Amino acid sequence: MGSKAAKRQSVPLDDEQEELWAGEITIGTPPQKFVIDFDTGSADLWVPSASCRDEGCQNKDAYTSTSSSTLESNSTSRDFSISYGDGSTASGPIYTDTVTVGGLSATGQAFSAVTSESESFAQDPSDGIMGLGFSSISSIGAPTFIENLFSQKVVSEPTFSMYLATNGSELYLGGTNNTLYSGNITYVDLTSKTYWLTNGTSSVGGKEAYTGGMIIDSGTTLIVGEQRSVEAWWETVEGAGRCSRRDCGASGYYTFPCNSPPNVSFTFGGAEFPVSSDYFNLGSVDYFGETCVGALAGSAGVPDNAWIVGDVFMRNVYTVFDEANGRVGFANLATAA
């Protein structure tokens, strides 16, 4: 078992229109394939059921329970139900089956084959979601995939890492891929083992504009914070203003002059990591390209009144999620990455 526990595996991820990074998993025996959004901001695995007729399930690969010899039904009558921060929902029966990612398999993995999905999921390129937060926030109430890999001695530590880019992106199970980052990894302790919640600072032009809780969330495209703290952050940006719902399609967005983008950075554990202006700029709202929209938006009801730090930040760093030690790490990207 000793050699088996040393396994580490790279899982290729595809950039889906810079909105999410998805990879392939299989469920069941024989394996049924799915394209999955690996989400560090939740802790449940679900895919569409073959019996789902909602619009959100259409044109997706679906799980057929009668086709798997390793399926076990949930021993309770309770169904899975989840609601995400953007208001989308999914629900359905709970099963356990063998789940494989990058050649690494967890047996008896709890998941839901959902029979109801929000219409918004119809636009997603992925079939479902694999939550990689802590099982303490699992709506199913069961260990996550990475926790099962560790307890079943498939990996030597419940650690995984993410590299998000236009090409060559990957989820690395069981450790880190040192070819993708340079220098040391800066680790910061989590404030709770729920979300990947830690403390950090965001600066504009070298001046601190926010300090507080930050949830490192691969399942969120942008950076989203509690409305008042986000408004205070934008007040430090010269020429910034609120973006109307008409121009931005939703409230909570802010604009800046396209010809002078803010110099944005995040600091964790004393290490500063700049955010590329290309990633922070969501595009212009006017015909002449003078007013651009920023990738930091305000929202009500953010967990723990923290900022949700999503892919706009994660694309600039190599991110390590170390469950055993209750910490998250960041490193500069390798120049060849």
Catalytic residue among 39, 44, 124, 322: 39
Distance in angstroms (rounded) separating the CA atoms of residues 208 and 267: 10
Catalytic residue among 97, 124, 217, 311: 217
* Backbone φ, ψ for residue 29 (5° rounding): -135, 115
For CA atoms 48, 53, 54, 57, the dihedral sign is positive
The stretches of 115-273 forming alpha helices (DSSP H) are 145-151, 227-234, 245-248
Determine whether 245 is exposed, middle or buried from the number of CB atoms within 10 Å of its CB (0-12, 13-18, 19+).
exposed
Terminal alpha carbon distance of the chain = 33
DSSP state of 56: G
Cis previous bond, 30, omega within 30: yes
Does the active-site annotation cover 37?
no
Listing DSSP states for 109-166 in one string gives EEEEEESEE-GGGGG-SSSEEEE-S-GGG-SS-S--HHHHHHHTTSSSSSEEEEE--S
**Cβ neighbours around 24 below 10 Å, total:** 17
Does the active-site annotation cover 39?
yes
Catalytic residues: 39, 217
